[in-house]
Homo-oligomer: A and B are copies of this chain.
Amino acid sequence: MAAGAMTGAESVLRTLSAAGVRACFANPGTSEMHLVAALDRVPEVRPVLTLFEGVASGAADGYGRMAGIPAATLLHLGPGLGNAFANLHNAYKARTPILNVVGDHAVEHAPLNAPLASDIASVARPVSHWYASAKDARGAATDAAAAVAAARSHGGAVATLVVPADAGWGPSAGPAAPMPVMPPAPVPAEAVAEAAAALRTGEPAALLIGGAATRGPALHAAARIAAATGARLIHDTFPARLERGAGVPAAQPLPYLTEMATEALEGLAHLVICGTQAPVAFFAYPGLPSRLADPATDVRTLAGPREDAAAALEALADALGAAGEPPLAPARVPEPPTGPLDAAAIGAALAALLPEGAIVVDEAVTASAPIVQVTAGAAPHEWLTLTGGAIGQGLPVATGAAVACPDRPVVCLEGDGSAMYTLQALWTQAREALDVTTVILANRTYAILDFELSRVGAGAKGPAAAGLLEIGRPDLDFVALAHGMGVPARRAEDGETFTAALREALAEPGPRLIEARI
């Protein structure tokens, strides 16, 4: 390399930095060593080490949801991307801005079938809205600029850039300038007019919001529309980021269960979709519909996931003259719980103690619904959910959200079964001293599966099936597991102990874990 020339790796990192990337969740290997070394020359990008790639991708998801700008991940060839896949799937469904930087073998080495060689593009495509592989060190910065622009465009996307080792170590011409970021696509005036006409009929109607429409001025506009027209305001079952609590316009969640969701949507003359897609069942079940809307309902899309839902809702509110203050959720804080611990008791303690501006990451699975219900009137907060159904998302998303928002407390509600997919996140929380309180809802079973087994009509549960649904032999000791990764932890088996543990955890700045035996 010419003396003094910048490596391709450094040109890539400087390009990311110039385009606004400020964090890199990394689990690198040999092929990424030049990118690792370049981090010391680009201090604006904060490196955060994870012990497993699924933590890196989930943390990038949490970061991107809260920061609105992409974090980078740094991953090691196809297997590293494979380990990151499940949480990238969740981010892909959430349309979180993320930039994956995946190291690969040097270009001439790649076809030789070395042990780590594999088809990275094939793994990447199902979880990448944008994909490219740099060809050499000179072009890598331009590819990186395009990748960040893609990740930031249309409200957010997962972009994956493969950087071969020699594109990292070879000489570059320096960083590339940021490329234009495409805003969400504007919604045609006719879509607004048609939605207005539908809602003006006075017939039974609902407005289903998702994506960017579940918070801020967009949520406010949606609530005004609902108030002015009598339409019900419903949000996606699993929103990426939902604003809620006292003083926030309240939307009702579309229920998870097909039977309850179809009942919730039954008899509507109009269903207006904004920021999401027409609702479909999470799973198919024998004899139940996959499409959740009443077949007699007129379903129309005001704004799809890549369109400007916020502007569309403002325009629709204007068209309907929906100007007044919408109804806001009243403050409603239950008494702290006493006696036996269950999900509702945990929710009550949370509602009582949740600080204003808290971020709640919800992977409580079967325990979620009662907690959601009882916290509706807690201090205003945001709620992040399992957008893609790939469990193991909670602890990493909480980690990334805490990196993005160091001044806001993060609470992670986590099932014991799902916690075990990406428990390594605790170590990163300890290393980075992140203010995350993890509550493990320990029922020693895959309760959701126990429930689903009966729903799919698979018949009575024999011992083999039962053995695949319970995780209580041996019992997982989450206090020991947390200690093993440097996170202080306590166990709670009743309401009083849980409330005390939660109060203590929220008062302390670093990570804490509470194993809540329910």
Contact = CB atoms under 8 A, between A and B. Distances in A.
Question: Number of copies of this chain in the oligomer?
Answer: 2
Contact of A33 (B106, B122, B449): B449
A189 interface: no
B34 A458 contact: yes
Given A112-B280, A474-B431, A480-B481, A37 B453 contact: yes
A174 interface: no
| Contact-residue size bin, chain A (C-beta under 8 Å from the other chain) | 35 or more
Interface in A378-405: 386-390, 392
Contacts of A108: 284, 290
A417 interface: yes
Interface string A44-72: 00010101101000000000000000000
A283 B469 CA distance: 42
Most chain B Cβ neighbours within 10 Å, of A37, A127, A280, A453: A37
Nearest to A54: B83
Contacts of A284: 105-106, 108-109, 165-166
A85 B123 contact: yes
A193 interface: no
Interface string A458-494: 1101111101110101111111110111100000000
B449 A39 contact: no
Contacts of A51: 417, 420-421, 471
Nearest to A432: B473
A282 B115 contact: yes
Interface of A: 9, 26, 28-31, 33-34, 36-37, 39-41, 43, 47, 49, 51-52, 54, 78-80, 82-83, 85-86, 89, 92-93, 105-106, 108-109, 112-116, 118-120, 122-123, 125-127, 165-166, 169, 238, 277, 280-284, 286, 290-291, 386-390, 392, 417, 420-421, 423-424, 427, 430-431, 448-449, 452-453, 456-459, 461-465, 467-469, 471, 473-481, 483-486
- Nearest 8 pairs of A and B residues by beta carbon: A82-B85, A40-B462, A474-B486, A79-B390, A480-B484, A481-B484, A109-B284, A37-B458
11 contacts: A33-B449, A37-B458, A43-B464, A78-B89, A82-B85, A115-B282, A116-B282, A122-B122, A165-B283, A475-B486, A476-B484
